[in-house]
Amino acid sequence: MSTPDESTPAPDSPRRPLGADWWAVIVAAVVVLLAALHVLPAIPFLIK
């Protein structure tokens, strides 16, 4: 395992990207918001 050179400036820590979990929550939250505002159209399913 290499030891980092202390004279080298530490790289900028990149912002951790949102994972699929958070994206799913965000997309679902938008849909639920539309439903709460009563602007989500009635959505049927094909089979009972």
Q: What is the CA radius of gyration of the chain?
A: 22
Residues 6+ apart with CB under 8 A from 43: none
Based on the shown chain and the rule CB under 8 A, indicate whether residue 42 belongs to the binding site for another protein: yes
Based on the shown chain and the rule CB under 8 A, indicate whether residue 1 belongs to the binding site for another protein: no
Based on the shown chain and the rule CB under 8 A, indicate whether residue 36 belongs to the binding site for another protein: yes
Based on the shown chain and the rule CB under 8 A, indicate whether residue 11 belongs to the binding site for another protein: no
Residues 6+ apart with CB under 8 A from 40: 31, 34
Site of interaction with another protein (CB under 8 A): 14-15, 17-25, 27-29, 31-32, 35-36, 38, 40-47
